Structure 1
Amino acid sequence: MVAPAVPELTEELLNESIEARTETLAALRELGPPDLVQLIKQAPRNPGKQIGVYHHVTGVDASSSASWQLGSDSVVQVPNNVSNHLTAGLLKYFHTTGRFASGINLFEKLRSKNVEVSSLLAKVLLMGNEEVQAVRVLHDSIKQSPMDYVMLDTQAEFLKKKALNPNTPELKQERLKMALGCADRSTVAAPSEFGTWARLAEVYVSMEDWENALTTLNSCPMFTYQDKDAPMMPEPKEIFLPTLPETRLDEIDSEPESKYGEQIHPSLLSLRAAQYRGTFKQAYSILTEMTAKIGWDQLLKIRSNVFVMEEEYRSESKPAPGPQGDAEKRSASTDVLRGSPGPPINGDDHTDDGKSATGESTAPTLVAENGVTDSGAEESVEKPSHTVTPEEVKGGNEDAEATEEQLSRFNNKRLCERWLDSLFMVLYEDLRIYTIWRTEMAQYRAQSLHYKKSAEEWEILGSLAERLHHQAEAVEAFRACLSIRFSPKALSGILADFEKDKNTRETVASVIRLVTWQYRWYSEFSPELLLTIRTLIEDEGAVKVRSIIQATTVLEEEVVM
């Protein structure tokens, strides 16, 4: 029997894939999962015996009515004409292929009918380094639609990027102040959108206005991440994935088997930040950027300056001794929420250092192969104390009496949202594990000992360092992972390092391996890899890149373009 050239999943019961798909139709949110292709096989000599097989194919049917219900990215609350999956896909397409002239031509035509499209036109112009024209488009369009939050956000993003490499410090501050005005105005135009508040927080981080950055981050509207619609199918009887000749590489073929038996420490599996998606992932990235710039201790100090801490709230909420007279009954919640002025910048006017009464953690501890850990490394990262959340205040005793002097210090403080308080605890665990890892490695190197971890553990540690904005340490961990076995995640992690160092041969070799892996395991097409090749061709020339690919040998398998 000739083996099929496409993947085949054999049904346990005839037509069960069709029935499962029909049952899930009502629960689909957007375009739904990839299209289902089901076939019924029947032997010529035994017509009564039928076997059902199926597979999925990707692609969008433009004739379907679902094309006008595209939804939006996970950080967009309400889709509109310029913020949806279709426009995001178009922008990514123009960015990946470099066909900016086609994008400009398309959006110029649409702009004549709808001024909202000006933000998309400006973004494509900026991609093509047409900055002057992009600024003109935004300037003219803002006059017509002054409260278009997407255009305001586009302006803020552009100005923030222009402030990264200014000629003078004064020019940097001037650009950041302009970006601040645009970002602040966009939050007024779209107060329910996460992106506008996140942009404002990013601008404050660039201005090194840490207290306002933290306060703004606390104001971000968060919502549950909605993943793409995925096929929900019963367990198949058999799975057949044909192996094409051009995808046969020993390191890739052996990757799934080599994962079995790898030991992973429980503390690495319990890092919750790795599971963040959507708004929570972006908010966590802003928080880790602040930590990378000012340090964990300073961030805790600023946190205690900005938010009402649990210990002080409890102590200040207790009735003060002595006669109270006819003083009005008040509570911490009414003082904090009654419209007090904003906090001073950067925590310079406060003395509370945010120290926690208990700095120990009950979580599992990362240990090296010898089973010994350094308690000093674990204690070097202070465990954050809890803040007071709005839910706790609402559920507390609102009739507690306190003196004016006791509550006056709350006037410049805010209540921390529960999700942000949780993010601090998650960040603490990330920092604790990272610090233990780096301390252990330093100790092993000082003793000229080899620091051993499994490939999966190195991959997790690389992702951890990447989340905390320690790129050099992330690359080190990813390289250690690749020295044990092939890992697409680790290779993707060091690819950017190759590009940064202009290491053309290593970049090409990495792209070849990643494309082969995706092709071998029927993964989705990666626009990032196409962008990498396009950038290489622009920098080095098509002839040189083609010659490198043709001359590249990967594990005795010659890959020819």
Structure 2
Amino acid sequence: MESFLSQPEFFETEVGESIISRTETLATFRELGPPDLCHFVKVSTSKSSARDIGSYHYVSGVDASSSAALAAYINSLTYELDQNPGFFSNKSQYKLKSGAYCCFNAFSRVDVRVVVRIPGSVDAYVVDLRGERHECTPEIWQEVYLSALLRSILYADDANYRLAGYRKLDPIASPEAEHRFLQAAENLFFKGWQLGSDPEIQVATVVSNHLTNGILKYFGESFRYEIAVNLFEKLYAREPEVAALVAKAYIGMNEELKAVQIMHHAIAQSRLPSGSTLPQPLSAAGQPLSYALLHVQADFLRSKGKAEWALKLAKQAVNSAPSEFVTWAKLTELYIDLEEWDSALFTLNSCPMFTYNERDLHRMPTPSKSHLPIKGFITESGLVNEESSRDNEADVALLRLPAPALRGTFSKAYALLTRLVSAIGWDELLKCRSAVFVMEEEYRMQKAGAPPIPGAAGEDGTAGGAAATANGAVAPAPNGVAAPASEPQQDQVSEEQQRERDQTRTRYSHEMEDSGVEPGSPVSSPESSAAGSPPLAGQRFTGGRSLASSTKTDGATAVDGDNDVHAAGDKLGRLGISSLSAAGSAQSIPTIKISTESDHEREKLALENFMKAEAEAASASKQDGEQGATAADADGEGAEGGEKTPDVKPEIEAPPLEKPALVQVEGRHERVDSSSGSGPGLSGAAAGAPTNSGSVDAQASGTQGAEQIQAQLHQDVNASATSAAAGGAEGGQAIQRQASAQGAAPQSGSGASVGLAFANKRLCERWLDNLFMVLYEDLRVYTIWRAEVAHYRAQNLAYRKTGTEWEILGELALRLHHSAEARDAFQRCVETKFSAKALLRLLEIYTDAKDVQRSLWTAIRLTAYHHRWYMEGSFPGAVAHNLFKLIRTEGLAKVSYTLVSMSPPQPILKLMQNYFAYAQTFGVPGFNF
């Protein structure tokens, strides 16, 4: 038989094509490189079929310190071939003819290859990026050994580094092997920056690279920081910047006093000017501090409840590395801790974002066939169930949620945004957003030709630049100079459109006065049970009065309001939008549809047609004498005490979420209460009021109307100066917009206040605007899910989902920081189907709760799953890390005896005991009690 008995294999169409493909892609590897490739050539012992067969698999954790060690691994696989076929079997017997082991050297960017001929010789050579061969040197072997170890440590549980047929072994199986790892890490430590770093780090440094991350992960996940401290102390004597790693390791050991002393000494040394014995203060100019050291100190202060002190350090870290994402992200976290929401949102908008680079993986030709055997004891245990097609089905809207696809800096920024919304709620987040950023609707309404505000013009009777436009005084002429209000503009709108704008503006003012509700505020849906949750699609209207109670009156002519409401309800029903008066009772089970992007587009188009038809009908029914009354209402002079209070007709706005402008310009981010300066020509959005919509247009940022507004915004704020990134770290105090820079004349009164509020806002970055859309989709789906659960529970009915749907909903709840709902969803998922992702989440939850029995049962199932897919290593890994966390608090004896009392299958019990053997051999905390 040509296949291995228990090891994965991919058979080649042509012998050696995998080696050729790897050689061709060597130049594309950027960081740690791909997993090791093990290639085999087999030959049949039968004379009738002497054709060679080529196959390969991926592997990590093999000792790559010498050619002999790699040859030993290839030789061990000769015993995996079936040497005793049945007497009557028609299958030919095969033997291993040769093997090749390929291991990438991430330091020198070369591929080390060992070719073994059985029986025969062993050849080792180096292949560079051009495919040329070179001899191996001792330095090359040390580098390739450390590169292989770092790949096996860092990518042990990386979801982006998973391949079929990838065999994972223990990279460090004994204390002697650990000593060799430490010796190689010390020798190559100052070359670590050549390996690259995490996606959130733009420039790899001595303390921020894959080598330091691997060391901290290996010793941190087993809680054995004392060994890492010994290594870092040696290196600290040679490089002061390593103090950040020393302090971090001491804090992990719970030696906080030593960590503080190290940080103090390192900061004092870095601020020591030449020829002086006294260090300068932290804020003094001089050699910039290491942001890694400042972050360690800031995290320590946060853990002690000193967020104000940590904030100063985070600002200093931004000054030290203004182009790094992690420094701005840390500053955002501290603003959230201090409940400075506007500053947190502004700082998040200032984060530099980097393109995510995928992991280095092979691009192999399609194999002729694959061999992925399952070990017999795994099948007999029944712990890894086969997934049925029914369990893998899910709602398309759940499968297309954009948040799980975020990577790198975008994923970290989204985590900060979800933390912000979990702290203040969706409504308050939108208020902060409208206070910090220039909104498109706000800018559009001011550019639409609002009436001039008294005192807004200069001495010459004209208002200049963007400030006058921001105040809603007049629309600018093409040459940039605003024309007087009495003169017609080149972009003058039609009389009918102007009349409609005036009516809308009047309705806004009456609604705010009557009900005290700001225009654009969302009305919570009957299904929404949580405060601050986003409204469902089609449940937003302007004003505080309900749609059923609204009537339509124009001047002295009264129209029957009930007929209008019924007519509007019929039209909205045809559009698929339910009004509040038509909402079902709380006892009914709603049919909830998670709309897709195309639904929003169709709904928006239908609403626009509907509103256009309503406007045309209203215009045709008006008399010529009513124009004067309309103009008087627009100027705020039509409401007298003895007159009849005008009611408004049903006004439905398009569901898509109002978006901020997307191009960044400079301006102060301090929140200004612009409502106090709102003039008669400003709506709630233009006056700084939040605009909360009920749905989202996920791709509206690319529409033609938005692009036109972007271009006009660029013209209006073209004269604004770019501030330094360090000034942004100081809370935006250095980001100032002068009225002279905008060409605006001095203003007074309410007009000046509104202009200042508009000028002090920033433009939202496009990526952050997209993250708001992603967040809205998550919140919308979560709200619908919880509403369904509440209604089914009220009716005492079973609420059923497929296993994949429960898994997606659990991840959704976890992203939004709803741990109880996430735990419930993951538990329902594993009850429905086998899901390694859900089991891993549950293992973390049970371990944090110190639930020993449930943690062990979850670890048993995950261990069986890992061995099913050839992940045979005990450590490092998520299962080992969580078990070591239990051992640290509960003791090895308790955890071990609890496992035995659960009576798992004997082969599975032996696999689980490998974790405990590692804890005893390497002295994991808690192994001795």
TM-score range, shorter chain: 0.7 to 0.9
Match of 2:711 among 378, 384, 395: 395
* d(CA) in 1 for partners of 2:4, 2:784: 52
Residue in 2 that maps onto 1:265: 395
TM-score normalised according to structure 1 size: 0.86
Q: Please say if residues 384 and 834 of structure 2, whose CA atoms lie closer than 8 Å, have aligned partners that are also in contact.
A: no
* 1:136-194, Cα deviation, whole Å (9 max, x unpaired): 1111101122521110111111211221xxxxxxxxxxx11110000011001000110
Match of 2:52 among 50, 53, 57: 50
Residue in 1 that maps onto 2:39: 38
* d(CA) in 2 for partners of 1:304, 1:294: 15
What is the 5 A alignment of 1:423-502?
Answer: 423-502=771-850
Residue in 2 that maps onto 1:128: 253
* d(CA) in 2 for partners of 1:374, 1:62: 60
Residue in 2 that maps onto 1:290: 420
1:250 deviation in Å?
5.4
* d(CA) in 2 for partners of 1:137, 1:439: 53
Q: Label 1:376 to 1:297 Cα distance change in 2 as closer, same or farther (>3 A).
A: farther
Secondary structure of the structure 1 residue equivalent to 2:51: strand
CA RMSD of aligned residues (A): 3.3
1:528 deviation in Å?
2.6
- The alignment covers a number of residue pairs equal to 528
Q: Label 1:157 to 1:374 Cα distance change in 2 as closer, same or farther (>3 A).
A: same
Question: Larger % of helix: which?
Answer: 1
Q: Does residue 551 of the first structure (1) align with residue 901 of the second (2)? A: yes
1:71 deviation in Å?
0.6
Secondary structure of the structure 1 residue equivalent to 2:812: helix
* 1:28-51, Cα deviation, whole Å (9 max, x unpaired): 112211111111222232575121
* 1:101-148, Cα deviation, whole Å (9 max, x unpaired): 211111111000000100000110011101111011111101122521
* d(CA) in 2 for partners of 1:108, 1:179: 25
Q: Label 1:312 to 1:389 Cα distance change in 2 as closer, same or farther (>3 A).
A: same
Q: Label 1:536 to 1:321 Cα distance change in 2 as closer, same or farther (>3 A).
A: closer
> AA paired with 2:661?
V
* 1:325-373, Cα deviation, whole Å (9 max, x unpaired): 475742379999xxxxxxxxxxxxxx978647997649x99xxxx9952
1:241 deviation in Å?
1.9
1:199 deviation in Å?
0.5
> AA paired with 1:454?
T
Q: Label 1:309 to 1:251 Cα distance change in 2 as closer, same or farther (>3 A).
A: farther
> AA paired with 1:116?
E
Residue in 2 that maps onto 1:347: none
Secondary structure of the structure 2 residue equivalent to 1:483: helix
> AA paired with 1:49?
R
Q: Please say if residues 17 and 233 of structure 1, whose CA atoms lie closer than 8 Å, have aligned partners that are also in contact.
A: yes
> AA paired with 1:196?
T
Q: Does residue 188 of the first structure (1) align with residue 323 of the second (2)? A: no
Secondary structure of the structure 2 residue equivalent to 1:432: helix
What is the 5 A alignment of 1:140-219?
Answer: 140-146=265-271, 147-163=289-305, 175-219=306-350
Q: Please say if residues 467 and 759 of structure 2, whose CA atoms lie closer than 8 Å, have aligned partners that are also in contact.
A: no
Residue in 2 that maps onto 1:344: none
1:316 deviation in Å?
2.6
> AA paired with 2:292?
V
Q: Label 1:558 to 1:194 Cα distance change in 2 as closer, same or farther (>3 A).
A: closer
Secondary structure of the structure 2 residue equivalent to 1:537: helix
* d(CA) in 2 for partners of 1:39, 1:86: 31
Residue in 1 that maps onto 2:407: 277
Q: Please say if residues 7 and 870 of structure 2, whose CA atoms lie closer than 8 Å, have aligned partners that are also in contact.
A: no
Match of 2:885 among 535, 549, 558: 535
Give unmatched runs, 5+ long, in structure 1.
164-174, 337-350
> AA paired with 2:442?
E
Secondary structure of the structure 2 residue equivalent to 1:553: coil
Deviates more, 1:459-468 or 1:405-414: 405-414
What is the 5 A alignment of 1:6-25?
Answer: 6-25=7-26
Residue in 2 that maps onto 1:341: none
Deviates more, 1:423-432 or 1:137-146: 137-146
* d(CA) in 1 for partners of 2:264, 2:429: 37
Residue in 1 that maps onto 2:220: 95
1:385 deviation in Å?
1.1
1:523 deviation in Å?
4.4
Q: Please say if residues 30 and 360 of structure 2, whose CA atoms lie closer than 8 Å, have aligned partners that are also in contact.
A: yes
* d(CA) in 2 for partners of 1:321, 1:398: 23
Give unmatched runs, 5+ long, in structure 2.
67-104, 110-146, 148-190, 272-288, 472-516, 524-533, 539-575, 578-587, 597-651, 665-706, 717-742, 914-929
> AA paired with 1:511?
A
* d(CA) in 2 for partners of 1:334, 1:81: 51
Q: Does residue 114 of the first structure (1) align with residue 239 of the second (2)? A: yes
> AA paired with 2:782?
Y
Match of 1:305 among 391, 414, 435: 435
Q: Please say if residues 318 and 402 of structure 1, whose CA atoms lie closer than 8 Å, have aligned partners that are also in contact.
A: no
Match of 1:386 among 627, 641, 659: 659
Secondary structure of the structure 1 residue equivalent to 2:808: helix
Q: Please say if residues 211 and 302 of structure 1, whose CA atoms lie closer than 8 Å, have aligned partners that are also in contact.
A: yes
* d(CA) in 2 for partners of 1:550, 1:539: 19
> AA paired with 2:465?
R
* d(CA) in 2 for partners of 1:133, 1:102: 15
> AA paired with 2:898?
I
> AA paired with 1:159?
L
* 1:224-248, Cα deviation, whole Å (9 max, x unpaired): 1112111211221111123234433
* d(CA) in 1 for partners of 2:407, 2:425: 24
Q: Label 1:537 to 1:234 Cα distance change in 2 as closer, same or farther (>3 A).
A: same
* d(CA) in 2 for partners of 1:520, 1:120: 37
Q: Label 1:523 to 1:112 Cα distance change in 2 as closer, same or farther (>3 A).
A: same
1:269 deviation in Å?
1.0
1:537 deviation in Å?
1.9
Q: Label 1:59 to 1:21 Cα distance change in 2 as closer, same or farther (>3 A).
A: same
> AA paired with 1:433?
V
The percentage of counterpart residues that share the same residue type is 43
* d(CA) in 2 for partners of 1:462, 1:333: 50
Q: Does residue 137 of the first structure (1) align with residue 262 of the second (2)? A: yes
> AA paired with 1:486?
F
Deviates more, 1:229-238 or 1:203-212: 229-238
Secondary structure of the structure 2 residue equivalent to 1:41: strand
> AA paired with 2:9?
E
* d(CA) in 1 for partners of 2:367, 2:771: 40
> AA paired with 2:256?
E
* d(CA) in 2 for partners of 1:158, 1:227: 33
Q: Please say if residues 300 and 353 of structure 1, whose CA atoms lie closer than 8 Å, have aligned partners that are also in contact.
A: no
> AA paired with 2:891?
G
Match of 1:331 among 466, 474, 479: 466
Q: Label 1:355 to 1:524 Cα distance change in 2 as closer, same or farther (>3 A).
A: farther
Deviates more, 1:316-325 or 1:64-73: 316-325
Q: Label 1:143 to 1:352 Cα distance change in 2 as closer, same or farther (>3 A).
A: farther
* d(CA) in 2 for partners of 1:353, 1:250: 62
* d(CA) in 2 for partners of 1:136, 1:224: 38
Deviates more, 1:39-48 or 1:351-360: 351-360
Q: Please say if residues 847 and 885 of structure 2, whose CA atoms lie closer than 8 Å, have aligned partners that are also in contact.
A: no
* d(CA) in 1 for partners of 2:713, 2:881: 58
* d(CA) in 1 for partners of 2:321, 2:468: 27
Q: Please say if residues 390 and 802 of structure 2, whose CA atoms lie closer than 8 Å, have aligned partners that are also in contact.
A: no
Q: Label 1:118 to 1:398 Cα distance change in 2 as closer, same or farther (>3 A).
A: closer
Residue in 2 that maps onto 1:373: 591
Q: Label 1:524 to 1:457 Cα distance change in 2 as closer, same or farther (>3 A).
A: farther
Residue in 2 that maps onto 1:167: none
